Structure 1
Amino acid sequence: MTTLPEWTDLRFFLELARSGTLSGTSRRLSVEHTTVARRIDRLEQQLGTTLFDRSREGYQLTEMGLSLLPHAEAMESAALAATEQLAGIQVSARGLVRLGAPEIFGTQVVAPMLVALLREHPDLNIDLLLLPRFANLANREADIGVMLDPPSTGRYMVAKLATFRLYLYGSKEYLARHPPIREHADIAHHEFVDYVQDRLASSELNFFEELGFTPRRRLCCTGMMAQCEAAAMGLGLVLAPPYAVRNHHNLVPVLEDRFHAERSFWLVAPVDLYRLQRVRVVWNLLREYSERNSPLFKNDDKLIEFSRTKTSFE
């Protein structure tokens, strides 16, 4: 190799590594897909190696491509940091932040809080990824992820966002048509709405195993938003946090003062991206908002702490 690769070619390399397709990369970079292919071919010729395996399914990094990836990411991070520093961005953040969040949390909590932030920072843009799984930060699918399982390896900033409790809810119509629920044993005679068990994005979503019995699932959905809609229509009981049901006024808590499950959301961002002003602005907003709005996550402080291995009741 007689010359260094151009940074613009490495940008194409990074985006293709993340999206896996020419069409996805062309959309992200606002160019034709033929331009993407030409840039990748040029980079491979310049480096004298094959960076991607091509197939009908898309582009997969080769061993040499995987070796190049962290160096290209470091160059990207340095370029972004230099741009911010030279632009003197200290008060107003600018640029794009991609934020991955669970569907109903992102819809009911995150999206509304972002409105004021975007008004405050007119040059800031946010892509809110409401995925049926948790965002893949390793391939830079998102800059920040809200997840139940923080990574145990890799260079990430990790902080607890909120501990939330899940309560049993049922619609007023459902509860009026079915036997009353006065104690834990009564729950076993009722029907439930839950997650599709073989499509769980995390084992932490397996809430109902903590009931102490196998629930009678009438409907299973891959997202909690659909679960709450079905429960609100009277199909069965649902286990959900307060923020998930706040717009369903006909859903009422069941055994609220005697039973709950508990989980935690974690904020995660690659260390190099966390250094960027625009990423920290979004990160800080999420943490501050969660601290100020604890009723979204817990109905009150009177509940007995719930054990992950043993059910607790008064």
Structure 2
Amino acid sequence: MKTLPEWTDLRYFLELARTGTLSGASRGLEVEHTTVARRIDRLEAQLGSTLFDRSREGYELTEMGLALLPHAEVMESAALAAQDQLSGNQVEVRGVVRLGVPEVLGVRVITPLLARFLAEHPDLSIDLLVQPRFANLANREADLGVTLDAPNTGRYMVTRLATFRLYLYGAPDYLARHPPILRQSDLAGHDFVDYVQDRLASNELNFLDALGFTPRRRLCCTGMMAQAEAAAAGLGLMMAPPYVIADDGRLVPILQGEVFAERAYWMVAPVDLYRLPRVRAVWNLLREYADAQPDLFVHADGAAGIARPKTRRA
């Protein structure tokens, strides 16, 4: 390599790595998609390496692209810090943050929270990855993620976002049509709505088996929003955190102080991305909100439950 790559070419590389398509990168950079393609071709020629695998679905980082990614992000962080310092505004938050969150948490809790936050930061944008699986931070699918499994390897910032409990719920119509539930042992004769067992995004989602019997799963879904609709339609009982259940009477708690499972959400970000002011701003927003709203995650009963959380280091 006779010449060092230009920083502007690395900006194009970062945008394409984050969006996965020429059209997405061109929108973010406000240029023509042909300009993005030309810059990537020039960068690959300068480095003597193929950085992306091209397909009809889009652009995916090669092994060399993944190796370059953290270095480009460090340069981005340094450039933004220098710009802020020279402008006299070292705490300004700008750019795009890709945030990967569980489906219902993203829809019911985080999306409304972002409305006021983005109004306070007009130069910040959020790409919210709301999906029934957890974002792959190792492949830089997201800058910041909320997950049930804290990573044991790699260079990550990790903190416990919230401990939450999944309580038992049923539709009034279902409860009226089936034998009464007066104690945990009565549950064995009832139908349940649950996750598709061979599509679990984490083993931490396997909580029905802790009831002490093999549950009769009448409908299984890959997402909890669909489970809540199925349970409200009377297809069976379900377990869910408080924030999942709307206050409309379609689902009511059952043995709330007696039967529940306990889990923890972890917030994770690669160390180099955590240093970016925009990523830290979103990190602090989620942490402070979760600390201030414990009733979203746990009902105030303090009773012992059927499953205890695994011990993890924050």
The TM-score normalised by the length of structure 2 is 0.89
Match of 1:312 in 2: none
What CA deviation, in whole Å up to 9, does each residue of 1:55-95 have, x standing for no partner?
45544444433433332222222223323333333555333
Within 5 A, what are the aligned runs for 1:21-60? 21-56=21-56, 58-60=58-60
Within 5 A, what are the aligned runs for 1:150-299? 150-299=150-299
Give, as a single letter, the amino acid of the residue that structure 2 aligns with 1:198: D
TM superposition shift of 1:103: 1.1
TM superposition shift of 1:197: 1.3
Change (3 A) 1:62 1:295: closer
Match of 1:105 in 2: 105
SS of the equivalent of 2:140 reads: coil
CA distance in 1, matches of 2:246, 2:223: 17
Change (3 A) 1:247 1:148: same
Match of 2:312 in 1: none
Change (3 A) 1:193 1:27: farther
Which stretches in structure 1 are left out of the alignment for 5+ residues?
A: 310-314
Please identify, of 93-102 and 225-234, the stretch whose mean Cα deviation from structure 2 is larger: 93-102
Please identify, of 99-108 and 119-128, the stretch whose mean Cα deviation from structure 2 is larger: 119-128
Within the alignment, does 1:87 sit opposite 2:90 as a pair?
no
What CA deviation, in whole Å up to 9, does each residue of 1:81-126 have, x standing for no partner?
3233333335553332222211111111112222222233333332
The alignment covers a number of residue pairs equal to 309
Within the alignment, does 1:149 sit opposite 2:131 as a pair?
no
Contact 1:89 1:277 in 2 (8 A): no
Give, as a single letter, the amino acid of the residue that structure 2 aligns with 1:272: D
Contact 1:242 1:297 in 2 (8 A): yes
Please identify, of 48-57 and 185-194, the stretch whose mean Cα deviation from structure 2 is larger: 48-57
Change (3 A) 1:278 1:297: same
Change (3 A) 1:243 1:28: same
Contact 1:93 1:123 in 2 (8 A): yes
SS of the equivalent of 1:285 reads: helix
Which stretches in structure 2 are left out of the alignment for 5+ residues?
A: 310-314
After superposition, the CA RMSD in angstroms is 2.3
Contact 2:210 2:306 in 1 (8 A): no
Contact 1:232 1:248 in 2 (8 A): no
Contact 1:167 1:240 in 2 (8 A): yes
The TM-score normalised by the length of structure 1 is 0.89
CA distance in 2, matches of 1:87, 1:209: 57
Within 5 A, what are the aligned runs for 1:98-137? 98-137=98-137
TM superposition shift of 1:277: 2.5
Match of 1:68 in 2: 68
Contact 2:211 2:306 in 1 (8 A): no
Match of 1:303 in 2: 303
Change (3 A) 1:283 1:80: same
